[in-house]
A and B are shown apart, each in its own frame.
Chain A
Amino acid sequence: MTMAPAPAPGDEGGASMPAATPGAVSPASRAGVDGRPLLRVEGLKVHFPIKEGIILERHIGDVRAVDGVTFELRKGETFGLVGESGCGKSTTGRAIVRIYRPTAGRIDFDGVDIASLEGAALRQMRRRVQMIFQDPYASLDPRMTAGSIIAEPLEIHGIGTRRERQDRIRELLPLVGLDAAYGVRYPHEFSGGQRQRIGVARALALDPDLIVADEPISALDVSIQAQILNLLQRLQGRLGLTYLFIAHDLAVVRHISDRIAVMYLGQIVEVASSRDLNTRPLHPYSVALLSAVPIPDPAVEMRRQRIILRGDVPSPAAPPSGCRFHTRCWLRERLGNPERCSAEEPVLRELESGHAVACHFAEDVAGSVEQALVTGRRVPPTAIPAGGDATGGEVFVPGDATSEVPPGTPVLPEAAPGAE
């Protein structure tokens, strides 16, 4: 912009677009070649103790917000983490930026286990892993100007002189699409979208390798959401960032992510490439999630069916035995409530290359009518479960209970034949 400071390091006068200038504050070593995992989370657990008593507190249990989560982020990719609220996706993100201390497990970042780092080593790591918060109104200190908010990470880490930090602010603001002169304004003078841009600029200030974006657009107007998504994508291309993108909206996540992990009740139930997850979801829960995403094609929408999960998410303080999803699983009903679901905890197994799922009966999802219907594929009319006609159907009757049910229709999971 015309207001660009005279000799911003690495910036060629700043005529059109200020170049991404990792320059001044770049950490010496970047994660290695593409494909090598930048972040490897292994068996991550974050439990919050439940205490009782006024003076002498007794430990009476744990909320197992995250209970054994394993995944990998390759350098330069966007990894989506989806699930309904309370499934532990945000807690996972917050553990990675070490807002929470993990109860167990490893978080290997560029070869260093950061799960147990403390003191100076932790501070050094914080420079390379930054976070974008969900609520742009709550995440900016109302008593600080936009400039001082953006410069704060630099100040905390003692980077640059006051003047250099000013230059950096004037370089970061245009980078996120704001006027370089806006640095003197206070957060309440900005709109929601502009505030989120300030949040992004703050995350970029230290020139990090990994950004954990915790539902960065779910608090914004729909019209603004796309702008911020595009900004994030553009910045990724320019700065070589790796994103852990957390959201509850599968439509958003699959748009931006290379790979997606679906979480349910503190565990990952399925990991796949964005494409695979959309075309062939293999976990009954993923199928249900996908059924909630509209397809912009009326013809497809007509023959699609939604899978309404019954009941609420069980309490993470007392998760169900065996497979955590078995209390709400449509496939389990279809199969006649097999013992294995409630007895044995399924492990994440790689069913296809790069497509892992934690379900004992994932093979039954593959090629099922539900999978086809949810993804909008054409199915032979004979195979479609008789919707609403619960008495007449012989072949796919069990499917009825889990397919879309008119409001008020009693749901009878016991009515599933095919058991024994």
Chain B
Amino acid sequence: MSLETPGVTAVAAAPRRAEERVSRGLWSDAFSRLLRNRPALVGLICITAFIGVAILAPVIAPYGPYEQRTGGRLEAPSAAHLFGTDLLGRDMFSRVLYGAQISLQVGVIAVLMALVMGGLIGALAGGLGGWVDSVLMRVTDVLLAIPGILLAIGIIAWLDRGMLQLMLAIAVTYVPIFARLLRGSILALRESDYVIAAGAVGASRLRLLVRHMLPNALTPLIVQATLILATAIIDIAGLGFLGLGPPDPRTPEWGTMLVDARRFLQTAPHIVFFVGGAIVVSAIGFNLLGDGLRESLDPRLKR
């Protein structure tokens, strides 16, 4: 609009219109795009169900996870026991629900730990550069050279079994991924016009990092974290399967439950089926959601 010719009516109307219309931020914009993406919506539903089940397990579960009944062992699914029972007569449905709790808890905490540690390393390396960058990146390269599950096994072997150790072991394997991702984003953003513009005005390095680079580097991190949650859940089950899960063998952890059920694969396959199904659904859910987030948050798909 031209400044010289402010049509009286236009001037009167324009501000009101602008006020009414609540500005849509990038996040709400991205969310509406996410809902229009069918696979992502499926993922979102899976994950909502997964999280809901995990939180509400004590309410939904008909039996306690440790509750044993000597009568009904390895029972097939029925109305009383939706997923059947295991060797000790425990209700599999309840145990799968409580298992979701453990997977979610361990998975989320492990990924958050990895995100924080990796993010710190990446931000330092990208923000400071020079020899700090070289040293930090060579260390992450070393971590990245070791296969993830081997590294996790090594860490648990070193620190002994335990819930915290489990989380830490999984976190460490994903630190290099986050570190490299954030470092790369920051290196790219450092040369971007708006960061240069803020620098030319006199913004400090810290301000550039916190106000401009980190917020703009956040979306790939969120996408990556969602995708890694899927692998983390599989890792948790994998470590449990290898006997490196929670120290208490009775804990309803999906991997541990799989090991127990393995021996009855022929006689009672339903146990493996339902536990495996739970792992698959949650992993696929996070994968679909992560891919959907990548698409809806990618600024290149905008405009």
Q: Which residue of B lies closest to A99 (CB)?
A: B200
Q: Let me know if A177 and B215 touch, CB within 8 A.
A: no
Among B19, B201, B216, B299, find the residue whose CB has the most chain A CB atoms closer than 10 A.
B201
Chain A residues closer than 8 Å to B142, beta-carbon distance = none
Given A1-B11, A188-B26, A188-B303; A143-B202 close (CB under 8 Å): no
Chain-A contact segment, one of B61-69, B89-97, B189-197: B189-197
A185 to B29, CA, bound (A): 13
Q: Let me know if B192 and A138 touch, CB within 8 A.
A: yes
Q: Which residue of A lies closest to B216 (CB)?
A: A143
Chain A residues closer than 8 Å to B32, beta-carbon distance = none
A181 to B11, CA, bound (A): 11
Some 16 contacts from A to B, beta carbons below 8 A apart, are A55-B134, A98-B200, A99-B199, A99-B200, A127-B202, A133-B193, A133-B197, A138-B194, A139-B197, A142-B299, A156-B198, A177-B2, A179-B1, A181-B19, A182-B18, A186-B23
A175 to B6, CA, bound (A): 12
Chain A residues closer than 8 Å to B200, beta-carbon distance = 94, 97-99, 126, 130-131
A131 to B303, CA, bound (A): 25
- Does any Cβ of B come within 8 Å of A387's Cβ? no
Chain B residues closer than 8 Å to A395, beta-carbon distance = none
- Does any Cβ of A come within 8 Å of B147's Cβ? no
A131 to B194, CA, bound (A): 11
Chain A residues closer than 8 Å to B145, beta-carbon distance = none
What is the size category of the interface that chain A forms with chain B? 35 or more
Q: Let me know if B201 and A126 touch, CB within 8 A.
A: yes
**How distant is A54 from chain B, measured CB to nearest CB, in Å?**
10
**How distant is B260 from chain A, measured CB to nearest CB, in Å?**
49
- Does any Cβ of B come within 8 Å of A145's Cβ? yes
Q: Which residue of A lies closest to B22 (CB)?
A: A184
- Does any Cβ of B come within 8 Å of A275's Cβ? no
**How distant is A9 from chain B, measured CB to nearest CB, in Å?**
20
Chain A residues closer than 8 Å to B59, beta-carbon distance = none
13 more contacts with CB within 8 A, not counting A3-B15, A186-B26, A188-B303, are: A16-B6, A140-B194, A142-B216, A152-B201, A156-B201, A174-B3, A178-B1, A179-B1, A181-B15, A182-B18, A184-B23, A185-B23, A186-B23
A131 to B215, CA, bound (A): 24
A135 to B4, CA, bound (A): 26
- Does any Cβ of A come within 8 Å of B207's Cβ? yes
Chain B residues closer than 8 Å to A138, beta-carbon distance = 192-194
Q: Let me know if A202 and B197 touch, CB within 8 A.
A: yes
A94 to B197, CA, bound (A): 10
Q: Which residue of A lies closest to B192 (CB)?
A: A138
Q: Let me know if B26 and A123 touch, CB within 8 A.
A: no
**How distant is A368 from chain B, measured CB to nearest CB, in Å?**
42
Q: Which residue of A lies closest to B14 (CB)?
A: A179
Chain B residues closer than 8 Å to A156, beta-carbon distance = 198, 201-203, 207
Within 8 A of B (CB), among A1-54: 1-3, 16-17
- Does any Cβ of B come within 8 Å of A189's Cβ? yes
Q: Let me know if A141 and B194 touch, CB within 8 A.
A: yes
Within 8 A of A (CB), among B172-221: 192-194, 196-203, 207, 212, 215-216
Given A139-B194, A179-B1; A2-B23 close (CB under 8 Å): no
A179 to B6, CA, bound (A): 11
Interface residues of B (CB under 8 A from A): 1-4, 6, 11-12, 14-15, 18-19, 23-26, 29, 134, 192-194, 196-203, 207, 212, 215-216, 299, 302-303
The 7 A-B residue pairs with the shortest CB-CB distance in the complex, in nearest-first order: A181-B18, A139-B193, A138-B193, A126-B202, A3-B15, A141-B194, A143-B215
Chain B residues closer than 8 Å to A188, beta-carbon distance = 26, 29, 302-303
A201 to B134, CA, bound (A): 40
Specify the main secondary structure of chain B where it touches its partner.
Answer: helix
A131 to B4, CA, bound (A): 25
Q: Which residue of A lies closest to B218 (CB)?
A: A143
Interface residues of A (CB under 8 A from B): 1-3, 16-17, 55, 94, 97-99, 122-123, 126-127, 130-131, 133-135, 138-143, 145, 152-153, 156-157, 174-175, 177-182, 184-186, 188-189, 202, 206, 234
- CB < 8 Å: which of B12, B15, B23 contacts A180? B15
Q: Which residue of B lies closest to A231 (CB)?
A: B3
**How distant is A195 from chain B, measured CB to nearest CB, in Å?**
11
**How distant is A292 from chain B, measured CB to nearest CB, in Å?**
28
Chain B residues closer than 8 Å to A17, beta-carbon distance = 3-4
Q: Let me know if A2 and B202 touch, CB within 8 A.
A: no
Chain A residues closer than 8 Å to B12, beta-carbon distance = 2
Q: Which residue of A lies closest to B1 (CB)?
A: A177
Given A186-B23, A186-B25; A135-B193 close (CB under 8 Å): yes
Chain B residues closer than 8 Å to A94, beta-carbon distance = 200
Chain A residues closer than 8 Å to B194, beta-carbon distance = 138-141
Chain B residues closer than 8 Å to A174, beta-carbon distance = 3
Q: Which residue of B lies closest to A138 (CB)?
A: B193
Q: Which residue of A lies closest to B27 (CB)?
A: A143
**How distant is A346 from chain B, measured CB to nearest CB, in Å?**
33
Q: Let me know if A141 and B196 touch, CB within 8 A.
A: no
Q: Which residue of B lies closest to A180 (CB)?
A: B15
A73 to B216, CA, bound (A): 37
Chain A residues closer than 8 Å to B26, beta-carbon distance = 142-143, 186, 188
Chain A residues closer than 8 Å to B212, beta-carbon distance = 141, 143
A202 to B200, CA, bound (A): 12
Chain B residues closer than 8 Å to A97, beta-carbon distance = 200
Chain B residues closer than 8 Å to A206, beta-carbon distance = 201
Given A1-B6, A133-B193; A179-B198 close (CB under 8 Å): no
Chain A residues closer than 8 Å to B134, beta-carbon distance = 55
**How distant is A119 from chain B, measured CB to nearest CB, in Å?**
10
**How distant is B14 from chain A, measured CB to nearest CB, in Å?**
5
Q: Which residue of A lies closest to B195 (CB)?
A: A141
